[in-house]
Amino acid sequence: MNDILVLGAGYTGVAAAIRTAVRTRRTGGRVRLVNASARFTERLRLHQTAAGQRLADFALEDVVAGTGIEFVQGRVAGLDVERRQARLEDGRVLGYDKLIYALGAVTDASVPGVAEHAFVYDDYAGTVRLAERLAALSSGPTSGPTSGPTSGPTSGTVVVVGGGLTGVESAAEIAEAHPRLHVVLLTRGRPGSMMGERARAHLDAALERLGVEVRTGADITKVLPEGVELAGGELVHSDATLWTTGTRGLPLAAGSGLAVDARGRIVVDSALRSVSHPDVYAVGDAAAVSQPYGVLHGTCQGGIPTGLHAADSLAATLRGRTPKGFRFGYVHQPISLGRKDAVIQFTRPDDSPRRWYLKGRAAIAYKETVSGSPLPTFGLLKRGLVPVWAFALTGGLG
């Protein structure tokens, strides 16, 4: 019997656990999936939760039902990679022969005040608190007109920090759901700077239509209870600040002695094994995965394929075979712009923009197809199948 422990039950962890259970069934694999919450959180849709939308609620035990996976609810407090043990906050100790580390990343709170005064998307509960704050602001008394594109009186100001996919989606979603709020998007560069000119122009027009005030060149030095401070001393007022820029691996990885990079991500080889402790596989945002064009950046697009590949590498190792090297190429940059608009930038494998893009209704349909409920994907994995999109992204899995 091989005891296989999967830490973290996001998209990547669940995919890795199901794939591992299927691939090791005949070799006596016992798979346990550990997660702090009993609920499956759709991190791709947390911006919708923040805007007050109610999403489907999935129990993890139901998600993995029929796979033989044992679900363990508990928060990981310590990891002993020499003894091959994970310790939970309640004192339970779980031993393992092989470990898949899928605990993801957390917000980089190195800017003073982020941890104390900003909302972040690190977990579902924190996002719900943001939704409650926005709802309270939206229903409050109005004040005078703002100096940005929002016309007329508003009931509060929300500052969203970060012009990447998450920041843009959040600003658009909040502005559409709460038209009485003044939404300010602060970013160092242009929002959606990774996209091509035509896709970016559509993004800019959508933010303007929604009344989002975009401020570029913003160098934030401190987050305060009622605003953010910029280099030079300017204070931008905020009744609620959402921080979406920068992530780091959990301190747990470095603290356990695993080799990590400058951002705290576990450094892995081509089979996605830790370079310092090969019995540990790291996937998703928790791993520093190198490809010829550089290290993967954290997205679900790359996360699930790493989970599937780690499962296949682990299964091959247990059979005495040499795992295949991981290959991955990006396909798109999908951004929702509220519930009524979206833009999709198609990319080269290195994530640089191609000429092709979608906007409007076509983009909405495309995005809902690729980032809808994960249950159909998990269902395919339970049957031993790999989704077509996984082959497209990775060029085939072993």
Q: Do the domain assignments include residue 359? A: no
User: CA 14 to CA 42: how far, in whole Å?
Assistant: 12
Q: Do the domain assignments include residue 365? A: no
Q: Do the domain assignments include residue 142? A: yes
Whether residue 229 sits in one domain with residue 132: yes
User: CA 289 to CA 270: how far, in whole Å?
Assistant: 8
pLDDT tens digits for range 114-166? 999 999 999 999 999 999 999 999 988 876 555 455 556 678 999 999 999 99
- State the average pLDDT for the chain: 92
Domain edge (last residue) among 243, 272, 291: 243
Token representation of residue 275:
């370079």
Q: Do the domain assignments include residue 355? A: no
The structure's pTM equals 0.93
User: CA 20 to CA 345: how far, in whole Å?
Assistant: 33
Whether residue 206 sits in one domain with residue 268: no
Whether residue 297 sits in one domain with residue 314: yes
Token representation of residue 139:
């229903």
Confidence (pLDDT) at 246? 87
Name the pairing type of β-strands 240-243 and 156-161.
parallel
pLDDT tens digits for range 354-393? 999 999 999 999 988 887 778 888 888 988 877 756 655 6
Question: Other CB atoms closer than 10 Å to residue 210's CB: what's the count?
Answer: 21
Confidence (pLDDT) at 394? 64
Token representation of residue 171:
């600003």
Confidence (pLDDT) at 27? 82
Domain edge (last residue) among 205, 221, 243: 243
Confidence (pLDDT) at 152? 60
User: CA 173 to CA 53: how far, in whole Å?
Assistant: 10
Whether residue 204 sits in one domain with residue 141: yes
Whether residue 151 sits in one domain with residue 62: no
Whether residue 283 sits in one domain with residue 386: yes
Tally of structural domains, the chain? 2
Q: Quickly tell me which residue has 């092709």 as its tokens.
A: 356
Strand order, beta sheet including 93-95:
76-80, 85-88, 93-95
* Tens digit of each residue's pLDDT, the chain (398 residues): 789 999 999 999 999 999 999 999 888 889 999 999 999 988 888 999 999 988 878 899 999 999 999 999 999 999 999 999 999 999 999 999 999 999 999 999 999 999 999 999 999 999 999 999 999 999 888 765 554 555 566 789 999 999 999 999 999 999 999 999 999 999 999 999 999 999 999 999 999 999 999 999 999 999 999 999 999 899 999 999 999 998 999 999 999 999 999 999 999 999 999 999 999 999 999 999 999 999 998 777 889 999 999 999 999 999 999 999 999 999 999 999 999 999 999 999 999 999 999 999 999 999 888 877 788 888 889 888 777 566 556 655 54
Whether residue 128 sits in one domain with residue 88: no
Q: Do the domain assignments include residue 345? A: no
Q: Do the domain assignments include residue 369? A: no
Whether residue 209 sits in one domain with residue 144: yes
| Gyration radius (Cα) of the chain, Å | 21
Whether residue 304 sits in one domain with residue 190: no
Question: Other CB atoms closer than 10 Å to residue 338's CB: what's the count?
Answer: 21
User: CA 229 to CA 112: how far, in whole Å?
Assistant: 10
Token representation of residue 7:
């830490």
Whether residue 304 sits in one domain with residue 206: no
Q: Do the domain assignments include residue 354? A: no
Q: How far is CA 86 from CA 27, 172, 253, 260, 311, in A?
A: 23, 40, 12, 18, 19
Domain edge (last residue) among 243, 264, 280: 243
Q: Do the domain assignments include residue 321? A: yes
State the distance between the two ends of the chain, measured CA to CA, in whole angstroms: 23
Whether residue 99 sits in one domain with residue 39: yes
Whether residue 183 sits in one domain with residue 152: yes
Which CATH number covers residue 10? 3.50.50.60
Range of the domain at 176: 114-243
**By CB neighbour count within 10 A (0-12 exposed, 13-18 middle, 19+ buried), where does 238 fall?**
buried
Torsion of CA 351, 357, 361, 363, to 10 degrees: -10
Name the pairing type of β-strands 266-267 and 287-288.
parallel
